[in-house]
């Protein structure tokens, strides 16, 4: 992959250019993300012109077609309510659309200062027409929403749809990129759901391919965490009185002498241990003492007071309400509920139990309200690095609110509501104090919980707020300004930092102080991002690997020097001059081809020299011999796992299981594995939805997987358990799905995966794979195989083929594959051979199961070849559908001579 820059200026990520600059990551077969930095009164027009007429750009390779579809064009539409003026600079957000469809996360932001012309920042997706040819989705909005509504509501809690309520249902047709940078027509769907009887709230979001409803990305967006007197506080803070110790509550009075907890800005609701309610709580004026619970004296009073404090802080400091609607504070949610959350329209607080007092505190309330502020401004996606920023901004707001109300900070989020006298929820001055949060970008990994990755920005905020000449409000100023005017929905830690630095410049604050605060958490104005190798840091020995690093910079990178050295002595020269594997000159992507000379662990040292400043980064890379898997038949043996270590994964859940021994998969050693409900294991972090199986290899998650029977499984009424047998160094771990159904609750099957110590072989065991419907029996709607962590290669045994029989097993053996290795001497190298151990130069595979006929001798391992195997025939045709047509040739199975012939022709 390389990066393209359109139009006259070709300096990456440059502020203050006199001409338009568009930089994009280029893949000939995929849409490209364009980073925008442009100046000039016609900059916005040039952006659109560059997207709609990219062929006019000076450095687009003629071999790449960018011709726009007839009638399908790019447009930029102002986002309603996004325009604001700060210190003479007017900021306006624009949403990118293509063919009148929003391109998710792609926005331009204009910054217009009097006398300084127009400045445009943001990012665009170009080349959509290369990937999407038809803009009419095969599935409807309703079908997309229904797909997301699994029986457990998408949150891993067993509950049928009939027992849950669904609110705020939303479905939007959008254009997105998948993990391989390919554009898809998709639905962005979400809703809020909770049990009708109370509890288990969730706000699932998913991006579903509009043509097959495959999940491209998913996450839970439930963000957690006039006269009126009365008590407040809890046993930890001590009791205090509104109207005496603090301002009186801002309530509304009526002629009958009652006070209502509602004003123009805030409404407070007593749910009274239910989950629904919309009426403001009222009481006999002037004092409210309702109600003392779980060590707190009146959570209703606190919630109403804190809501008004938060509203006043945003209004006094920034001249705007935190939300575009009245704040709703819902108190006494459910029974013994130990959390607080923002559901997209209101703040809800539980009463706690053993860990928490009622979860109404000023910082927690400000935290939840500020999720709404973010949602209505940058709309940071609640996943990945943007999700960590989203959480951190709300934590910052909590400290800002304490400073606004009290004039000081303790840097301990949620300290007031935790029953442990020494503990807080999070520590902004030292995030690792909670035992799990990170405070440096080096600690970040894909899949980390956003509450824990928030520590990077939390610590940067603390660093800035405690810098001489700053303070809590001033530090919050630049974060609010960045949230409003620079951050994008999928901002990274680095691009977010650039936005904060730009905000400091806009507000006249010291930009160097901002940069220094972020540098302490590992974020620098100039830094290196590895594109390849990426996750897992694995390269293949004696193969042509692409090595690519991206120079991240908030200002012009012209004149930068980037060199790399390899500890094993291999010489690699990085290029940004359009030669030796680098596609585009001066684009910020430095690339090279590297053929490692020896397997093993090596250290790559990357050095940047830029503006007389040297930056060095070291990374360890594991160079492995190319490994593949060969498939062979195995003697069937079933192990009952129901009495072992069991996990509850329901319909779409994932649980991590520590391994009893180190296991090597594609040459990488692992100590734990993730068990996914839908019939597969993965060694990568995975928390998405996976009900739609895909062929192997595939261009999106899940990857790094062992797929025994990847299909839409509902395991709630069965068991998913693991047992370990034998002694070291020959132990076996078997993970079994027993008596599990096809979603929603059709039939039941049993199968397992066995991981073997020492040999690192994998065995799939199929006790019963007959659900009771020919369209899904025997693997007809499943993927079977293994796939490498990058998703670039794998071994597929079968995909949506009814070739997996009851009481059979198959073995997958790991072996190194050389360029010319040909184990059986049939002229077909092992990496291409469908039967590695038996010569089959014609690669005959009559049943199209991915295994050559020479390896198909005894499907059910009963010692009989298929020509005389009546038992196999009985199993194959034992269908509950009397007109089943297993091979879809138009003849029903009972009279299907074609399928008989194909199987009988398999001879050794």
Name the residues annotated as catalytic.
368, 451
CA-wise closest residue to 207 among 104, 130, 133: 104
Non-local (6+) Cβ contacts of 849 within 8 A are 797, 798, 801, 803, 856
Q: Are strands 713-714 and 705-710 parallel, antiparallel or unpaired?
A: unpaired
Task: Tell me if 160 sits within 8 A of 10, measured CB to CB.
Answer: no
HEC readout, 556-614:
CCCCCEEEEEECCCCCCCCECECCCCCCCECCCEEEEEECCCCCEEEEEEEEEEECCEE
CA-wise closest residue to 484 among 614, 379, 331: 379
Task: Tell me if 690 sits within 8 A of 675, measured CB to CB.
Answer: no
For residue 268, give both structure tokens. 């407070």
- Looking at residue 256, the DSSP 8-state letter turns out to be T
Burial 649-664 (b: 16+ CB within 10 A, else e): bbbbbbeebebbbebb
Question: Residue 126: is the preceding peptide bond cis (ω within 30°)?
Answer: no
Say which residue the tokens 């049993």 belong to. Answer: 750
Non-local (6+) Cβ contacts of 581 within 8 A are 546, 575, 591, 592, 593
Non-local (6+) Cβ contacts of 366 within 8 A are 306, 309, 310, 313, 394, 397, 398, 400, 401, 402
CA neighbours within 13 Å on the CB side: how many for 46?
A: 23
3-state SS, residue 415: helix
- Looking at residue 68, the DSSP 8-state letter turns out to be P
- Looking at residue 79, the DSSP 8-state letter turns out to be P
Non-local (6+) Cβ contacts of 811 within 8 A are 631, 632, 633, 634, 761, 762, 763
What is the spatial distance between Cα 436 and Cα 392, in angstroms, rounded to a whole number? Answer: 15
Angle at 730 between CA 724 and CA 735, to 5 degrees: 30
Going across the sheet that includes 223-224, the strands are 223-224, 340-342, 347-350, 327-333, 266-270
Task: Tell me if 675 sits within 8 A of 658, measured CB to CB.
Answer: no
- Looking at residue 67, the DSSP 8-state letter turns out to be P
Cβ count near 380 (within 10 Å)? 28
What is the spatial distance between Cα 858 and Cα 694, in angstroms, rounded to a whole number? Answer: 27
Task: Tell me if 879 sits within 8 A of 893, measured CB to CB.
Answer: yes
Non-local (6+) Cβ contacts of 701 within 8 A are 179, 684, 686, 688, 791
What is the spatial distance between Cα 608 and Cα 553, in angstroms, rounded to a whole number? Answer: 11
Alpha helices in 137-250 (DSSP H): 141-148
Cβ count near 16 (within 10 Å)? 10
841 beta partners: none
CA neighbours within 13 Å on the CB side: how many for 768?
A: 14
CA-wise closest residue to 660 among 706, 704, 726, 708: 726
């Amino acid at each position: 992959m390389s990066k393209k820059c359109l139009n006259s200026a070709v300096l990456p990520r440059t502020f203050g250019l006199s001409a338009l600059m568009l930089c994009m990551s280029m893949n000939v077969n995929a849409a490209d993300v364009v980073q925008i930095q442009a100046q000039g009164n016609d900059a916005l027009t040039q952006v659109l012109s560059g997207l709609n007429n990219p062929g006019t750009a000076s450095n687009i390779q003629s071999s790449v077609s960018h011709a726009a579809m007839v009638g399908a064009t790019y447009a930029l539409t102002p986002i309603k309510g996004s325009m604001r003026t700060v210190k003479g600079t007017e900021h306006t957000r624009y949403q990118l659309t293509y063919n009148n469809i929003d391109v998710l996360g792609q926005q331009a932001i204009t910054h217009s200062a009097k006398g300084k012309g127009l400045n445009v920042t943001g990012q665009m997706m170009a080349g959509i027409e290369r990937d999407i040819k038809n803009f009419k989705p095969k599935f409807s909005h309703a079908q997309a929403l229904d797909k997301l509504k699994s029986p457990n509501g998408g949150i891993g809690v067993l509950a049928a749809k009939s027992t849950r309520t669904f609110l705020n249902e939303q479905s939007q047709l959008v254009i997105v990129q998948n993990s391989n940078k390919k554009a898809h027509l998709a639905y962005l769907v979400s809703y809020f759901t909770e049990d009708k009887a109370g509890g288990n709230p969730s706000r699932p979001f998913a991006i579903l391919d509009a043509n097959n409803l495959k999940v491209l990305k998913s996450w839970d967006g439930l963000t957690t965490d006039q006269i009126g007197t009365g008590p407040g506080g809890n046993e930890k803070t001590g009791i205090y009185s509104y109207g005496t110790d603090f301002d009186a509550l801002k309530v509304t009075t009526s002629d009958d002498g009652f006070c209502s907890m509602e004003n123009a800005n805030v409404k407070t609701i007593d749910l009274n241990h239910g989950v629904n309610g919309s009426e403001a709580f009222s009481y006999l004026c002037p004092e409210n003492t309702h109600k003392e619970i779980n060590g707190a004296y009146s959570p209703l009073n606190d919630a109403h007071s804190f809501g008004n404090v938060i509203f006043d802080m945003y209004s006094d400091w920034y001249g705007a309400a935190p939300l575009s609607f009245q704040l709703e504070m819902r108190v006494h949610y459910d029974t013994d509920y130990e959390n607080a959350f923002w559901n997209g329209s209101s703040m809800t607080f539980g009463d706690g139990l053993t860990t928490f007092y009622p979860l109404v505190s000023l910082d927690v309330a400000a935290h939840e309200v500020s999720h709404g502020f973010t949602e209505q401004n940058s709309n940071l996606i609640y996943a990945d690095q943007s999700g960590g920023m989203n959480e951190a901004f709300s934590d910052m707001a909590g400290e800002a609110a304490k400073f606004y109300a009290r004039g000081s900070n303790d840097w301990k989020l949620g300290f007031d509501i935790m029953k442990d006298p020494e503990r807080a929820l999070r520590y902004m001055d030292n995030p690792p104090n909670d035992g799990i949060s990170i405070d440096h970008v080096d600690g970040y990994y894909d899949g980390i919980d956003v509450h824990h990755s928030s520590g990077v920005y939390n610590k940067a905020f603390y660093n800035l707020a405690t810098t001489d000449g700053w303070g809590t409000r001033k530090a919050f100023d630049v974060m609010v300004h960045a949230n409003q005017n620079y951050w994008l929905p999928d901002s990274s830690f680095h691009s977010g930092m650039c936005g904060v630095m730009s905000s400091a410049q806009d507000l006249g604050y010291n930009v160097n102080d901002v940069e220094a605060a972020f540098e302490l958490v590992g974020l620098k104005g100039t830094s290196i991002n590895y594109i390849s190798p990426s996750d897992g840091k694995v390269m293949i020995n004696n193969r042509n690997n692409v090595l690519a690093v991206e120079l991240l910079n908030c200002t012009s990178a012209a004149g930068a020097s980037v060199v790399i050295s390899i500890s094993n002595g291999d010489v690699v020269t990085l290029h940004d001059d359009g030669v030796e594997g680098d596609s585009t000159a001066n684009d910020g992507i430095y690339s090279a081809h590297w053929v490692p000379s020896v397997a093993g662990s090596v250290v790559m040292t990357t050095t940047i020299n830029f503006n007389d400043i040297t930056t060095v980064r070291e990374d360890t890379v594991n160079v492995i011999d190319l490994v593949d898997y060969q498939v062979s038949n195995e003697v069937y043996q079933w192990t009952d796992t129901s009495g072992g270590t069991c996990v509850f994964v329901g319909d779409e859940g994932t649980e991590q299981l520590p391994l009893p021994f180190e296991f090597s998969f594609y040459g990488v050693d692992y100590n734990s594995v993730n068990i996914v409900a839908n019939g597969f294991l993965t060694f990568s972090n995975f928390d998405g939805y996976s009900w739609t199986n895909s062929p192997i290899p595939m261009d999106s998650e899940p990857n790094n997987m062992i797929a025994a029977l990847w299909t839409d499984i509902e395991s709630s009424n069965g068991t998913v358990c693991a047992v370990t047998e034998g002694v070291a160094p020959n132990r076996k771990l078997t993970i079994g799905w027993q008596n599990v159904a096809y979603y929603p609750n059709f039939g039941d099957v049993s199968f397992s995966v066995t991981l073997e110590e020492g040999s690192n072989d994998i065995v799939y065991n199929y006790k019963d794979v007959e659900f009771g419907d020919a369209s899904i029996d025997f693997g007809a709607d499943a993927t079977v195989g293994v796939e490498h962590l990058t998703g670039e290669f794998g071994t597929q045994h079968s995909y949506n083929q009814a070739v997996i029989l009851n009481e059979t097993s198959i073995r997958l053996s790991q072996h190194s594959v050389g360029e010319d290795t040909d184990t059986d001497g049939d002229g077909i190298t092992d990496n291409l051979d469908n039967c590695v151990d038996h010569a089959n130069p014609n690669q005959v595979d009559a049943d199209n199961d991915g295994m050559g006929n020479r390896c198909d001798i005894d499907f059910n391992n009963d010692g009989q070849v298929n020509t005389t195997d009546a038992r196999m025939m009985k199993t194959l045709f034992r269908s509950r559908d009397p007109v089943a047509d297993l091979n879809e040739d138009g003849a029903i199975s009972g009279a299907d001579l074609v399928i008989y012939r194909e199987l009988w022709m398999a001879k050794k």
